[in-house]
Chains A and B, each alone.
Chain A
């Protein structure tokens, strides 16, 4: 049904009911959301999107609660998208992230929405990207995506978040080893929560060792790209003078000037590394911050927000923010296009066509590759 984008207008005024309704329409992929989201489009792209990810039980929800409080204290409005898994058997879900953060439910500057994965893999729900856009357009300045508890490969959050906080925790034993190769590579800011527990120092050392190794191996990581860009601008741990020659030409130059000081904070947050690095004889290494927090008591939260905001400033100063958003949206468009093609293939009449092709392959009337080519051509001709 076509109608004027009334919900969009109300959402722009941060009407919580309208925002909530829009997110529900997104979740059930309701076609009538399209005029609303189109109307909101011009207001998107302004929020700082922060991903909080890590294994189950790391304290992501409690940490998110404290981040919300700290950001509110700095005068920011905050949206939270908290994702929990759906049962693959019943489709039901218990969304419990609010237990830790419902004290913000009466704060009009905070909007929290729990999403179930509804069968989607990768640590997010399908609706996450559009939900973030709704909150962004509604004017929430910082948007926190809290992923499901992740294992090794649930890294979809890299496609949505500007800044990713990877939360680890002592006491998982070999789990720290297990996640090293997967999600450990996506962090911009590393946080060892429950740092008052035994073994926290060891986890911090292990993460630093892993990051050092990545740098020494020349691995292309999210943080190495940023450090490289900052160094090219004359910013960074070894910067002696002001911005380098290229800085003035950056498309983000205006914003960059204001952000340069803040960007340095990303290095300061990682300063402890340089001491450790010098002791090990490679003082040139620039590593992202690894911070110790005790979310329960609020210890280290201020420093964590400082590091998150410094990272954002660094992205803005170097122009990487804009570059990554282009890459991420291109990825999302590609995926959405593939989904649309797939849903075309899954339509009943297509199923019959696919079965006919399969029979032809099995009957040796054609081969797999010719059948595939025929299907691809029919898609191009048909839609």
Chain B
């Protein structure tokens, strides 16, 4: 059977705005992916637990609160700790350009800021999966 791309869309941290996350979730669904949405205010530990149980190919996180420099790398580190090295981790939200190089160095494969067409994110995911279909 055809391999489905599974994506965990997660909202780490305390901000309560998930409009952007839901827009992405719907766009990925319409691109034929299976999107597991975990809801608001998730800890990095919860995100990693869900990513493992759901055996996802991608973890896509959105943050609007400014805590991205702490929370995004924390998820990457926790995945590493659990021995998970084949999941693509991407981020989005209100993230200053100056922070992006640091996030990439910390293992966030790509960062999508407001205004990015959803088709760009979809293409990026399809071309950069760490596990081959």
A residues contacting B by CB (< 8 A) are 16-17, 19-21, 23-24, 27-29, 86-87, 90-96, 98-100, 102-103, 105-106, 111-114, 116, 118
Cβ-defined contact, B32 with A99, below 8 A: no
Residue of B nearest to A99 (CB): B39
16 further A-B contacts with Cβ under 8 Å, apart from A105-B47, A118-B4, are A20-B54, A27-B4, A28-B1, A28-B2, A28-B4, A90-B30, A92-B29, A92-B30, A94-B29, A96-B37, A98-B54, A102-B38, A102-B39, A103-B46, A106-B49, A116-B4
Tell whether, in the assembled complex, residue B35 and residue A23 are in contact, meaning their CB atoms are under 8 Å apart: no
Collect the chain A residues with CB atoms within 8 Å of residue B35's CB.
92-95
Question: Knowing A21-B55, A24-B55 touch, does A95 contact B3 (C-beta < 8 A)?
Answer: no
Known: A20-B54, A24-B55, A106-B46. A116 touches B34 (CB 8 A): yes
Q: How far is the CB of B117 from chain A (nearest CB, A)?
A: 18
Closest to A29 in B: B1
Q: Which residue of A lies closest to B35 (CB)?
A: A94
B82 interfacial contact with A, CB 8 Å: yes
Question: Which B residues are CB-close (under 8 A) to A96?
Answer: 37
Quick one: closest B residue to A91, CB to CB? Answer: B32
A118 to B28, CA, bound (A): 16
Q: B42 is contacted by which of A28, A90, A94, A102 (Cβ under 8 Å)?
A: A102
Complex: how many Å from CA A27 to CA B55? 11
Q: Check A95–B32 contact: CB distance below 8 A.
A: no
A-B pairs, top 3 by smallest CB distance, nearest first, are A105-B49, A99-B39, A92-B29
For the side of the interface on B, what is the size category? 20 to 34
**Nearest residue, chain A, Cβ from B57:** A24
Is the Cβ of A94 less than 8 Å from the Cβ of B49?
Answer: no
Judge whether B26 is part of the interface by a CB distance below 8 angstroms. yes
Select which of A17, A27, A94, A102 is within 8 A of B46 by beta carbon: A102
In the bound assembly, the distance between CA atoms of A21 and B30 in angstroms comes to: 25
Q: Is the CB of A113 within 8 A of B29?
A: no
Residue of B nearest to A98 (CB): B38
Interface hub of A21, A87, A94, A103 (most chain B Cβ within 10 A):
A94
The answer for the CA separation of A254 and B47 in the assembled complex, in Å, is 44
Instruction: Report B-chain residues with C-beta under 8 Å of the C-beta of A19.
Output: 53
**Is B50 interfacial (CB 8 A cutoff)?**
yes
On whether the beta carbons of A98 and B32 are closer than 8 Å, the reply is no
Contact of B67 with A by CB under 8 A:
no
Asked whether A95 lies within 8 Å of B37 as measured between CB atoms, the reply is yes
Q: Mark B39-52, 1 if CB is under 8 A from A, else 0.
A: 10011011101101
Q: Contact between A114 and B54 (Cβ–Cβ < 8 Å)?
A: yes
Q: Hey, what's the 0/1 contact readout for B82-111 against A, CB within 8 Å counting as 1?
A: 111000000000000000000000000000
Within the assembled complex, what's the spacing in Å between the Cα atoms of A162 and B52? 28
Residues from chain A with a CB closer than 8 A to the CB of B1 are: 27-29
Supply 22 A–B pairs (Cβ within 8 Å), ascending by A: A17-B55, A20-B54, A23-B55, A27-B4, A87-B29, A87-B30, A90-B32, A92-B28, A94-B29, A95-B34, A95-B35, A95-B37, A98-B37, A98-B39, A102-B42, A102-B50, A105-B47, A105-B50, A113-B53, A114-B36, A116-B4, A116-B34
CB distance from B71 to the nearest CB of A (A): 15
Contacts of B26 in A (CB 8 A): 94
Query: How far in angstroms is the closest Cβ of chain A from B24?
Result: 11
Q: Which residues of A contact B37 (CB under 8 A)?
A: 94-96, 98-99
Please, which residues of chain B bring their CB within 8 A of the CB of A93? 29, 34-35
B14, CB-defined interface residue at 8 Å: no
The 8 Å CB contact of B45, one of A28, A29, A92, A106, is: A106
B129 interface contact, C-beta 8 A: no
Q: Is B64 an interface residue (CB 8 A)?
A: no
* B54 CB contacts on chain A under 8 angstroms: 20, 98, 113-114
Q: Smallest CB-CB separation from A95: which chain B residue?
A: B36
Q: Determine whether the beta carbon of A98 is less than 8 Å from that of B52.
A: no
Interface centre among A17, A21, A90, A102 (most CB of B within 10 A): A102
Chain A residues with CB under 8 Å of B36's CB are 95, 98, 114
| A24 (CB) vs chain B CBs: closest residue | B55
B59 to A: closest C-beta gap in Å: 13
Measured CA separation A87–B34 after assembly (Å) = 10
> Contacts of B49 on A, CB cut-off 8 Å?
16, 105-106
Please state if B38 and A99 are interface contacts (CB–CB under 8 Å): yes
Q: By the criterion CB–CB under 8 Å, are A90 and B34 in contact?
A: no
- Taking the closest CB of chain B, its distance from the CB of A238, in whole angstroms, is 46
Residues in B with CB closer than 8 Å to A105 are: 38, 45-47, 49-50, 53
Contacts of A87 in B (CB 8 A): 29-30
